[in-house]
Structure 1
């Protein structure tokens, strides 16, 4: 591809050079190097020299054209103009014949580097044509007919009066067709390039530059034209247009630009960094990854030697590796690289030698492997840590292979089973620790583990001396690249724990029996107290005192029923509250109601288990509510009790005409003692009570079911102060 680029460059019809922004001549074509007689002395500077210095010397010798070239090139490099053109005479000396003319064109190249193409072309023939026309008609006729450049004589309005053979050949029309068709058939006046050309010519009476013509077959031609306005012998204004087809030359320049862009795109698409070095280790070419990954500017890269980007302790290794590459043809090396973005990074560098006429070079790529190196270091670190963990673990551990052979054991394994590493390694792990009857189960364990599943169970294993141990065994597969390559087995001696569990279970059973006995005795003692109160009620003649004693008896009854529920169930800390609620409702006639009261009670309760510390306050609250309702309204007829649960919220509803909502309207009066007790009991379970009477009296208690800890009868400091 580079050879193609050089071929295109050398195909330009004239001497050409590429000049950098600082004036350095980067490259020249063969016409520039070998054809000094074909162009102006200002093009004699050679690669490696500075073109601005070359022109400056000519200025000092009195050459005004050299100064114009300096200014013109500067304008193009600074972006003031896209190109600069200058036609000038060649000096009169032995190398350059008298009255020779050359045309200089300076064009900005489309590249990352700010460079221009300097192009010298011999235009002596065009100039001679003009001069010949002015000097003698005969010479004009000869030049007109024989010129290789097309010549058209026309009026400023576009009428064509004459065209030479070259013009007819370039445009594809005959002379008659051109004269009859006029300028319109060969030129689009609305084209921006043509408009600019005619504006300059009308202003200066002379134009030299590019125009766009149309061939007879419709093809657009790019021509280099010289257009001069003059008056003929009759005083009529005429235009002399001399032109030549430069379409191929423009196509060549476009191809050069496309070639350059294609080359840069290929280089920039290479993964990682790309570079070209000479033997002096100068970086001649690089891709965007060098600037993006390492953070250096193009100016820094191009002004520094390649060793600048490596730490000093890597220099010797880098130099030796590159010398080997120039000698053997290739090299690869892993080295630290200095990045402005991320500090020290690790790169894997590859380089291959290639040769050109100008010397030997290395082309190479670099890949950032810092993360891979860190991963490998982390793997080594983790392996060391796991090895230390294995060896120093207080739990007995062994590693075994897919054929059940022990690979290694730790010291805790030796302490538990009594086998040394020499005695255990290489043995079948199951046959070493099990008796023959259980070996079938052991094979199933191995198959499960080496299929990729862990195994944990309580098993029996034997020590070297034959002692049977109960152990918790966990077998864990070791997976590498999706394949189980080995397994760890961990043993936890449960012998002491099993003995302790048996002792605790026995002790717990004894304590449960004692606790049941306590609840039973508390219930019996409360029943005795209730019986004594019943005897007192039978002897009491005062109805108010009798009612008070009934309230006390009902409270004792509520608590006794809770203890009865506790010793009757398996749980010592919770009760089946729906059963308890039915028992309380069935005991309502004991509150002083008679058979003539015709009380109809319906209980609809969901099965709900309540913590003792919620059940006691709720049970007492229900008891006090019943005291309030039925001690005042003994003639109620219906009472419906609902117990429901919505997630963790419990709802207890009392509904019917046995409830008088007026009893809960204080109207400024001091709250009664039973009502105060209800408030206290509900506050202990964080409950709330709503009373309504929309045709049917309704009382609703809501609270959140929780596993409350602490005494079931505990009061808050605020509640306790009520009784002081």
Structure 2
């Protein structure tokens, strides 16, 4: 015997077990609606025992507002409608609540084993409430979508709903774009499959980022549309905006900025060349003098001009035309100064300790360069002698930026030290006067230490 076959006795027990544990309510009714039989599941579904129900008529459990259609459907079955009858009715629970049941009735009065109207019913209360809640949520969502100031598309399965702003963006009425397939076909034309594939990939990834894609409007215009997609349990909401004009404006702005960058680079290049011409003129002028003090003054002026020209050269070579990284600039500047004082090359070495994170704009880079130029030149001229510093001299230029945005610039040497009688604030030499003036220009503070040589420190606030 197969595993699904049963003896007559076991068949009855098997069917009885199925009926008792079924989630459906099985009834056998007489033509007047009274009960011949009701399954034990009535107690679980409606709170009544079978004994309580068998003495009643089925219509006693029906909601008054549903009673007329219940009687009409039942009489239709009694009159042997070939299709039976299916209805959804509100049925009273023993606790007084109304439960929603979906039932199907068939006339088996002529069947000698049944001789009654068989009704199969199931409780769909929770299912219906869930559907109603979803429908209410969808309605609220559509209402929200409709009234959004931005373009919006609500995707529910393969159907879509677009608001008025989205109609204006696409040029189509919402009735003309009822499904996703139609949306892709009308707005992307030959690119339909490509865009559908892109959509599916982004959907699987959870729509990570906004995306701008060109669409074809109903009037044939190509518009750049930005999509921001929010997925939820029952669908998606797309926020769409036409960014064509803003992208065109951005492109024009980028082109304008690139043009200005080229122009600014050319300006820096020409300023550097003009300063180089002045440097060369001073060099030619020096050829007409033999007085050492005059030649020294001309050379100092050349160094100052070269320090300014070097700033423009570094800006010209940089990707950032507004700021300069002082690390490479300081190294180049001091190296040029050492080359000018070749007699000191064997006596003094140069060390640099500059934060690579420091960035100076041109208004601060030039004063800093001139300050370094004056202080390093002064050290090379006066701080070292062959007898005292035979290869052990050192000049250190450091620049550090603090967390509060302050920059500390220091120029130190281990030479003979600045004489006590020289006061930076009242110094008569042009170089030291320049250092004071340039510190004021930086709105900084200057200090001098004479311990182990000379250290001049300038503290100023970096400009954004």
In structure 1, what is the equivalent of residue 360 of structure 2?
A: 610
Contact 2:349/2:395 (8 A) holds in 1? yes
**Deviation readout 1:430-472 (Å, 9 max, x if unpaired):** 45534122212212334455xxx66511223332355443221
1:145-544 alignment runs, 5 A limit: 387=143, 390-391=146-147, 393=149, 395-401=150-156, 403-406=157-160, 408-426=161-179, 428=181, 429-434=183-188, 435-448=192-205, 455-477=209-231, 484-544=233-293
Helix, strand or coil: the match of 2:234?
strand
CA 1:596–1:414 in 2, change beyond 3 Å: closer, same or farther? closer
In structure 2, what is the equivalent of residue 653 of structure 1?
A: 410
CA 1:548–1:644 in 2, change beyond 3 Å: closer, same or farther? same
Matches of 1:400 and 1:467, distance apart in 2: 24
**Deviation readout 1:623-649 (Å, 9 max, x if unpaired):** 222344444446374323334444444
Matches of 1:564 and 1:538, distance apart in 2: 27
CA 1:615–1:670 in 2, change beyond 3 Å: closer, same or farther? closer
Find 1:556's aligned residue among 300, 305, 312.
305
CA 1:678–1:514 in 2, change beyond 3 Å: closer, same or farther? same
In structure 2, what is the equivalent of residue 687 of structure 1?
A: 444
Matches of 1:509 and 1:387, distance apart in 2: 46
CA 1:476–1:396 in 2, change beyond 3 Å: closer, same or farther? same
Matches of 1:390 and 1:548, distance apart in 2: 79
In structure 2, what is the equivalent of residue 47 of structure 1?
A: none
Contact 1:404/1:446 (8 A) holds in 2? no
Helix, strand or coil: the match of 1:638?
strand
1:543-622 alignment runs, 5 A limit: 543-589=292-338, 594=343, 598-607=347-356, 608-622=358-372
Deviation at 1:418, TM superposition (A): 1.6
Contact 1:629/1:659 (8 A) holds in 2? no
Contact 1:399/1:409 (8 A) holds in 2? yes
Matches of 2:315 and 2:169, distance apart in 1: 46
Helix, strand or coil: the match of 2:290?
coil
Deviation at 1:663, TM superposition (A): 6.7
Larger Rg computed on CA atoms? 1
1:626-705 alignment runs, 5 A limit: 626-633=376-383, 635=385, 637-647=393-403, 648-658=405-415, 660-662=417-419, 665-666=422-423, 672-705=429-462
**How many residue pairs were aligned?**
319
Deviation at 1:619, TM superposition (A): 0.9
In structure 2, what is the equivalent of residue 255 of structure 1?
A: none
**Deviation readout 1:247-299 (Å, 9 max, x if unpaired):** xxxxxxxxxxxxxxxxxxxxxxxxxxxxxxxxxxxxxxxxxxxxxxxxxxxxx
**Deviation readout 1:146-181 (Å, 9 max, x if unpaired):** xxxxxxxxxxxxxxxxxxxxxxxxxxxxxxxxxxxx
Moved more, 522-531 or 618-627: 618-627
CA 1:522–1:461 in 2, change beyond 3 Å: closer, same or farther? same
Deviation at 1:654, TM superposition (A): 2.6
Matches of 2:240 and 2:371, distance apart in 1: 55
Contact 2:323/2:362 (8 A) holds in 1? yes
Deviation at 1:572, TM superposition (A): 0.8
CA 1:389–1:398 in 2, change beyond 3 Å: closer, same or farther? closer
Matches of 2:195 and 2:144, distance apart in 1: 33
Gap runs ≥5 in structure 1: 1-329, 331-378, 479-483, 708-724
Note the aligned Cα RMSD (angstroms). 3.5
Matches of 1:461 and 1:591, distance apart in 2: 66
Deviation at 1:680, TM superposition (A): 2.7
CA 1:430–1:678 in 2, change beyond 3 Å: closer, same or farther? same
Deviation at 1:549, TM superposition (A): 1.9
